[in-house]
Amino acid sequence: MRPPLAETAFAFEGRIVAIGQVVLAALRWGEWNDLERAVRTGLVGVQCAERDGSSFADAELRPILIAWRRERQLLAAEDYQAWLAERGLTLEDMSAYLRRSAVAELTADGVCDPAALAAVVYPEAILDGRLRAWAQRLAQHEGARRALRARGDETPPMLAEEVSELVAAAKRADASGLDEIPVERLRVWAVEVLELEQAWSLLADQVGHDEAIERCLSAHRLDWPRLEWEEATFAREDVAREAALWVRDEGMELSAVAEQAGTVSTVEAAYGYEVRETAHMLTGKRPGELVGPIATGSGWRLVLLRERVLPVAADPQLRARAIDELLDDALAPHLAGRVEWHARL
């Protein structure tokens, strides 16, 4: 099932953006090719599994379906079935998607039938949320163009060569259906996609200057630090409390205490926003301080802070996160109430 590519995905201040234009943008970003690779892998994996006698029992697929429905808050059967129907999908489409998901991590050899790829690539894009995410991203790019204009700036004219390259890429992407779109319409879409991409880049450069990034990182010094910690989980509370005493009072290594108690310690590292519970637990602690025992579903947990590195602009991941936040702030007044969604993606 392929949605009509000329159908309106959304309107931004009344300007129509077609589903095909969203797909063309995904092709430009390299994300359509990622989707095709994922679908090919799934199709080949299912073929190999069925050839080897796998039956894809409900017990194997049900957890995947439950997680999918919970993520979209489709707990009631009627809501779930209505969601599929609104998008022109069937329970058979979902079943096939679940089978592909079940083998997604497998490495399988085989050839994917182009017709089979074309038949399921759009259901995959809808069911895994990619098509909706692409449309939302393109809407943000529309907001970036509006924000630039509010600042008195415009994107420069697109080079004819770039436009032609994107149109040619669309004509080669036959599974997308873009090859069936008239060239003149594709050129109009391509110019828009490239202009919006340029607007996004220009706005990012304007708001993501060093001073603004430093202010953003300073505001997040408590929730964006890089943490390194060691932890161990003990089966009994009394053993965990005794282990904590050995670490705190006797200066023993947590790893040695855990080994004596018949368990193991692990060293982990993450940014505070990635492990909010652990980060909150370690707030105000200095390297070398121990927290716990803390009751968990699997036992009693001890956590030892090894290192805390405050956010700095030299960290590429935090710099990118800061720029994203600055962009969100800059875009907010130019998106609110201006996007009208039409298609169910």
Q: What is the pLDDT of residue 165?
A: 95
- Shared domain check, 182 and 53: yes
Using alpha carbons, list the distances in angstroms from residue 143 to 191, 199, 335: 17, 9, 6
Whether this model's pTM surpasses 0.75: yes
Q: Which two tokens stand for residue 273?
A: 């926003």
Rounded CA separation 30/141 (Å): 16
E strands within the chain? Answer: 8-12, 15-18, 226-234, 265-271, 290-296, 299-309, 339-341
Q: What is the pLDDT of residue 107?
A: 63
Q: What is the pLDDT of residue 106?
A: 65
Per-residue DSSP letter, 104:
T
- Shared domain check, 179 and 99: yes
**CA dihedral in degrees (19, 21, 24, 30; nearest 10)?**
-80
Indicate whether 158 belongs to any domain: yes
- The CATH number covering residue 302 comes to 3.10.50.40
Element (H, E) at 97: helix 91-102
Indicate whether 345 belongs to any domain: no
Per-residue DSSP letter, 181:
S
- Shared domain check, 273 and 237: yes
Indicate whether 155 belongs to any domain: yes
Q: Into how many domains does the chain fold? A: 3
- Shared domain check, 33 and 170: yes
Range of the domain at 238: 222-309
Indicate whether 340 belongs to any domain: no
Each residue's pLDDT, cut to its tens digit, for the chain (345 residues) gives 788 999 999 999 889 999 999 999 999 999 999 999 999 998 888 888 877 767 777 778 899 999 999 999 999 999 999 999 999 999 999 999 999 988 876 666 667 788 888 899 999 999 999 999 999 999 999 999 999 898 888 888 888 899 999 999 999 988 999 999 999 999 999 999 999 999 999 999 999 899 999 999 999 988 899 999 999 999 999 999 999 999 998 889 999 999 988 899 999 999 999 999 999 989 889 999 999 899 988 899 999 999 999 999 999 999 999 999 999 999 999 988 888 899 888
Last residue of a domain, one of 172, 201, 230: 201
Q: What is the pLDDT of residue 133?
A: 95
Residue type for position 114: P
- Shared domain check, 20 and 134: yes
Q: Which two tokens stand for residue 68?
A: 């999918």
Q: Which two tokens stand for residue 298?
A: 């699997």
Q: Which two tokens stand for residue 170?
A: 């669309």
Q: Which two tokens stand for residue 191?
A: 């110019």
- Shared domain check, 183 and 135: yes
Q: What is the pLDDT of residue 10?
A: 93
Indicate whether 73 belongs to any domain: yes
- Shared domain check, 192 and 79: yes
- Shared domain check, 168 and 148: yes
- Shared domain check, 248 and 189: no
- Shared domain check, 164 and 110: yes
Q: What is the pLDDT of residue 201?
A: 92
Indicate whether 176 belongs to any domain: yes
Indicate whether 303 belongs to any domain: yes
Indicate whether 65 belongs to any domain: yes
**Three-point CA angle 60, 34, 117, nearest 5°:** 65
User: Based on the number of CB atoms within 10 Å of its own CB, is 160 exposed (0-12), middle (13-18) or buried (19 or more)?
Assistant: exposed
